[in-house]
Structure 1
Amino acid sequence: MSLKGDVCVVTGAGGFLGRRLVKLLLEEEKMAEIRLLDKHVEPQLLQTLEDCRGDTKLSVFEGDIRDGDFLRKTCRGASIVFHIASIIDVIEAVEYREIYGVNVKGTQLLLEACVQENVVSFIYTSTIEVMGPNPQGEPIVNGTEDTVYHCALKFSYSKTKREAEERTLQAHGEMLQNGGRLATCALRPMYIYGEGCRFLLGHMGDGIGNRDVLFRMSRPEALVNPVYVGNVAVAHLQAARSLKDPRKRNTVGGKFYFVSDDTPPVSYSDFNHAVMAPLGFNIQEKLVLPLSLLYVICFFLEMVCMMLRPLKRIVPPMNQQLLTMLNTPFSFSYQKAKTDLGYAPRYTWEEARRRTTEWLASQLPQQRAKRRAR
């Protein structure tokens, strides 16, 4: 089902995934208009999209996702919303009120704007972290949408993303102002990598500071399955096509889908090495300290920071839940997305790795210069 002639809104359009999705939409669909919603959209982004824009109108809407009037203005006349924008935080650096306001209230306001402005399709970018891992570190290997997993989420990020996802799916079938019905679905990508991934830059910077040796914070046996950003963008496009298709709308609507690809299962630390080894980086053979000792250190750091919080907010670089996430086998299949959405990874692991490594290579001189300047 083509999206030709549609008007769509992409929230977080200036970000890592958002800009990749906008480019894909321009290349594959002759849409009437794409509205780029973000707090700030860099002018150079529009310049890079000019070559593939064709007859599609590109409009920039800069504002706050927590502003209901702004959202209604952005959604007016649109038929599809891709809601990607959120605050990502796994070290609890952001105050809970702030992250809840953006991730949950912002999503709710956007859903309400869709109802008021008769937007018929809403695709929410969730995350694997709404599933876990739980604080006990219970593993999941090749899980599916039917996998039962008992989890009391610890991160503010995962809690707020889970609530926003639930609100999105509950809104499926809600009546629009014109008497139509809203269709929603949610996508749960694995850890997303590729050109523009700020986490990879951070790991590379740390490795440079450690004489080109990457730190090991994950046990080799803690296998996860990262997903390439280009494939995640394809999954979003397929979700929009499915929600527009009358034959699939009720099958897909109100459901969530895991999004992975054929990136080989690997630990987070070994993944960093896989994409940086061609640049001359090595990796520590063992964890920086025994895992049990790391948990003890994280516990005391968290206690000290908690006691100091009335005087000063200090955020430790590592916490117990992040340590659990980095050391728990946690992988999921994309078969249901393949069956229901028609999703198939467009980029092989070899191509995704090559593209990622080439981008990291282009950033390497700047990262080395930053380290020398410290």
Structure 2
Amino acid sequence: TMVTGGGGYLGYNLGCALVSSGVAVVLFDVRKPKWEIPSGADFFRGDVRDYEAVFEACEGVDCVFHVAACGMSGLEQANHIESINVGGTKIIIDVCKQRNIPRLIYTSTVNVVFGGNPIEEGDEETVPYFPLEKQFNHYSRTKAIADQMVLAANGTLLKGGDKLHTCVLRPPGIYGPEEQRHLPRVAVNIQRRLFNFKFGNHKVQMNWVHIGNLVQAHLLAAEALTSEKGYVASGQAYYIHDGENVIFSEWIVPLFEKLGYRKPWIHIPVLLAHIAATVMEYLHLILKPVFSFTPFLTRNEVWNVTVTHTFRIDKARNQLGYKPQKFSFADSVD
């Protein structure tokens, strides 16, 4: 089994779980994991945009988890994001066909359907992709293209004559011990006193997923692409989260307490927050050639905490046998 993005948080944890279940794993990434590579896993340094490297790494592989992605921070160049998220996905699909790899699981995101539009208890059948031309960040747009590419590849012929079986998993924000992307950014913004402000309606709800639950979903998805399971997941998309809707301002209270700050209490209009984020993003673009800085707020982040977007996971429960465990956000704050 190969895991692209195997040097990252999700890819590495998925690789460890696969090894624990007795599966030989190739962790494929441009950077080695910061954690120790477990016995039973091999690290292969390579770029998903490099066909030869991907082809070589996939020797003897019968399942690919395509986790690698770029652009979540919103700061990378558009063509760089596209070359990895879209170009890299095309190469993964092509190599699966050439190497006769029958199973491909793609880690997508809820952002393929969410772009600031309210979604309450959305499901896979009724919520359409957010229009690509309206996606204001390249990460979401390119992930949506790749999501559709992977689903479209389902049922295509492999070189040896068998069929390729694909599915996509769409998680929201990930949290867990040592998570590197979401929590540190929230923590920094709390320390900057940015989250002393409340934006918009305090009843806004969203979903999160613990790393343990997301890994479980990936393992189940791989099983569900086998003949033993009747290829039940073949060509399917699944929302994956902890099984509960949370109010962001309440959910992050443990992080405030851990950092020694009071809960947010100053209320500012959403429009003001959105304008500030827009200005930050454009300043970042304009100044990038001479001065690089990280915007303390992006439009995507404003939408995430000011617009309800919740999803049903019934399909994953019923078809994959997904059973999210109960985790405490407070336990992940270290």
TM-score (norm 1): 0.80
Tell which structure's C-alpha radius of gyration is larger: 1
Aligned mate of 1:11, from 4, 29, 32: 4
1:364 match? none
**Aligned equivalent of 1:164:** 146
Deviations 1:281-322 (A, max 9, x none): 4221234x3222223334445555666678777764334443
**Superposition deviation, residue 104 in structure 1:** 0.7
Q: Is the 8 A contact 1:214 1:273 kept in 2?
A: no
Q: Verify: 1:30 aligned to 2:11, yes or no.
A: no
Counterpart position of 1:335: 314
- Supply the distance in 2 between the matched residues of 1:174 and 1:119 (Cα, whole angstroms): 12
Q: Which one of 275, 297, 307 corresponds to residue 276 of structure 2?
A: 297
Paired AA for residue 45 in structure 1: E
Q: Counterpart in 2 of 1:233?
A: 215
> C-alpha displacement at 1:82, in angstroms?
0.6
Equivalent residue for 1:258, pick from 239, 264, 267: 239
Q: 1:214 to 1:17 in 2, by over 3 A?
A: same
Judged with a 3 Å threshold, the aligned counterparts in structure 2 of structure 1 residues 193 and 314 are, in CA distance, closer, same or farther, namely closer
Structure 1 residues 304 and 189 mapped into 2: Cα distance closer, same or farther (>3 Å)? closer
Instruction: Tell me the CA shift for residue 40 of structure 1.
Output: 1.7
Asked if 1:204 is matched to 2:203, the reply is no
Distance in structure 1 (CA, Å) of the matches to 2:286 and 2:246? 39
Are the counterparts in 1 of residues 238 and 316 from structure 2 also a CA contact under 8 Å? yes
Partner amino acid, structure 2, of 1:355:
D
Question: 1:158/1:14 Cα in 2 relative to 1: closer, same or farther (>3 Å)?
Answer: same
Give how far 1:174 is off. 1.3
Structure with greater helix percent: 1
Does the residue aligned with 2:257 lie in a helix, a strand or coil? helix
Task: After superposition, give the CA deviation of every residue in 1:221-245 in whole Å (9 maximum; x if it has no partner).
Answer: 2210111111000000000011023
Pairwise CA RMSD? 2.4
Aligned partner of 1:147 in structure 2 is: 126
In structure 2, the CA distance between the partners of 1:142 and 1:312, relative to structure 1 (3 Å rule), is same
Contact 2:190 2:256 in 1 (8 A): no
Shift of the 319–248 alpha-carbon distance from structure 1 to 2, 3 Å rule, reads same
Query: Distance between the aligned counterparts of 2:289 and 2:6, measured in 1?
Result: 37
What residue identity is the alignment partner of 1:262?
Answer: G
Q: How does 1:1-374 map to 2 (within 5 A)?
A: 8-27=1-20, 29-31=21-23, 33-42=24-33, 44-46=35-37, 49-50=38-39, 57-90=40-73, 92-133=74-115, 137-149=116-128, 151=131, 152-198=134-180, 199-210=182-193, 214-216=195-197, 218-219=199-200, 220-249=202-231, 251-267=232-248, 269-277=249-257, 280-287=260-267, 289-302=268-281, 316-345=295-324, 347-348=325-326, 351-357=327-333, 360=334
Aligned partners of 1:89 and 1:148: how far apart in 2? Answer: 22
Q: State the Cα deviation string for residues 315-345 of structure 1 (Å, max 9, x = none).
A: 6433444322321000101110111111111
C-alpha offsets along residues 72-129 of structure 1, whole Å, 9 cap, x if unaligned?
1111110000110101424x31101100011110011011111101111000000011
Q: Is the 8 A contact 1:103 1:164 kept in 2?
A: yes
Deviation at 1:142, TM superposition (A): 1.3
Q: Whole-Å Cα distance in 2 between the matches of residues 273 and 218 of structure 1?
A: 15
Secondary structure of the 1:37 match is strand
In structure 2, how many angstroms separate the alpha carbons of the residues matched to 1:295 and 1:34? 43
Structure 1 pair 248/201, CA: closer, same or farther in 2 (3 Å)?
same
Q: Which amino acid aligns with 1:10?
A: V
Under a length normalisation based on structure 2, what TM-score does the superposition of the two structures give?
A: 0.89
C-alpha distance in 2, partners of 1:233/1:312? 38
- 5+ residue gaps, structure 2, are none
Gaps of at least 5 residues in structure 1 are 1-7, 51-56, 361-374
Change (3 A) 1:106 1:225: same
Secondary structure at the aligned position of 1:60 is classed as: strand
How big is each residue's C-alpha offset from its partner over 1:57-79, in whole Å with a ceiling of 9 and x where there is no partner?
32110011110000011111100
Q: Deviations over 1:4-54 (max 9, x none)?
A: xxxx00111121111211222222x222x11111112147421xx34xxxx
Q: Matches of 1:34 and 1:308 in 2, distance apart? A: 42
TM-aligned CA deviation for residue 172 of structure 1: 0.7
Q: Separation in 2 of the partners of 1:206 and 1:246?
A: 48
Report the AA paired with residue 206 of structure 1: N
When structure 1 is superposed on structure 2, of 105-114 and 302-311 the one drifting more is 302-311
8 Å contact kept, 2:198–2:265: no
> Share of identical aligned residues, percent?
28
1:38 counterpart letter in structure 2: D
Deviation larger for 196-205 or 214-223: 214-223
User: 1:87, 1:157 within 8 Å by CA — same for their partners in 2?
Assistant: yes
